[in-house]
Amino acid sequence: MSFGNVSVVLVHGAWADGSSWSKVINRLRDQGVNAIAAPLPLTSLSDDVTALDRALERIEGPVVLAGHAYAGAVIGSTRSRNIEALVYVAALAPDEGETVSDVFYRGETHPQAPQLTPDRHGLIWLPQEGFAQAFAQHAAPQELAVLTAVQRPISVSCISEAVGRPLWKDRPSWFLIAEQDRMINPGTQNFMAGRMNAHVRSYEADHTPIVTAPDAVTHVIVEAVQSVSAR
């Protein structure tokens, strides 16, 4: 199937890097969809949006922008003109004036969710046991080993900066709800998706379906790409 010149840009969340999207990238390629992963410094929300904008400058033609977890705030804060649709994967979608922290802590915390506290540098690391208990409890041991080894901390500045008018108010959006998420309350995901008027797709997935349920994630992204290419 031809998707024209529509490209997909994938944005990683906290405690991860672009390699977390590798399974999805390969599946999109198999379906003829060009995709790149945008690297974020995770030093502040503003820094991350600037980094995303630099990646988007490299893309010609319409873009479907997908973000996992924290990256939902980043993809909602860009103002790049070539974005035609947004895909939120178990992601955070703060509204205007809200912070990432506001929505992250909105719902009840799962009993197996890790305690998150910044170190003396203002960086938040995920405890090693948090990967198997809450971040990706459905992952294989080899996958958990990689996720743990490549984790990148997120700055407190990323979660404490209020967002402006989010792009999801002006673009169609899709939201993959991870029903077994132990990091972001699924009820909070439903709340955010509802106020976004997003196309909701719900799966029995953990917090990191880009690793543990890549077929489901790919399906939702391709649905958004098909919508853009059909215009």
Chain segment 99-115, per-residue pLDDT in tens: 999 999 898 889 899 99
Beta carbons of 88 and 176 less than 8 angstroms apart: yes
Rounded mean pLDDT of 84-110?
95
Six-digit token pair at 80? 């790049």
Six-digit token pair at 41? 């410094």
Dist. CA 202–CA 199, nearest whole Å: 10
**Over 80: is that where the pLDDT of 2 sits?**
no
| Residue 126 φ then ψ, to 5° | -85, 125
Q: Note the pLDDT of residue 146.
A: 96
Q: Give the tens place of pLDDT for each residue, 185-221.
A: 999 999 999 999 999 999 999 999 999 999 999 999 9
- When pLDDT is cut at 50, 70 and 90, the band that residue 1 belongs to is low
Q: Note the pLDDT of residue 77.
A: 98
With H, G, I as helix, E, B as strand and everything else as coil, classify residue 159.
Answer: helix
The whole-model pTM stands at 0.96
- Residue percentage of the chain with pLDDT more than 70: 99
With DSSP H G I counted as helix, E B as strand and the rest as coil, what are the percentages for the chain, rounded to 5? 40, 15, 45
Domains (range + CATH), the chain: 7-229 (3.40.50.1820)
Q: Note the pLDDT of residue 4.
A: 75
Dist. CA 3–CA 134, nearest whole Å: 36
Task: Give the residues across from 174 on adjacent strands.
Answer: 87, 199
**CA diameter of the chain:** 51
Q: Note the pLDDT of residue 231.
A: 75
Name every residue whose Cβ is closer than 8 Å to that of residue 124 and which is 6 or more positions away in sequence.
14, 116, 117, 118, 153, 154, 155, 156, 159
Q: Give the tens place of pLDDT for each residue, 156-192.
A: 999 999 999 999 999 999 999 999 999 999 999 999 9
Judged by phi (left if over 0) then psi (alpha if -120 to 50, else beta), residue 206 lies in beta
Q: Give the tens place of pLDDT for each residue, 116-170.
A: 999 999 999 999 999 999 999 999 999 999 999 999 999 999 999 999 999 999 9
Q: Which of 52-56, 206-210, 227-231 has the lowest mean pLDDT?
A: 227-231
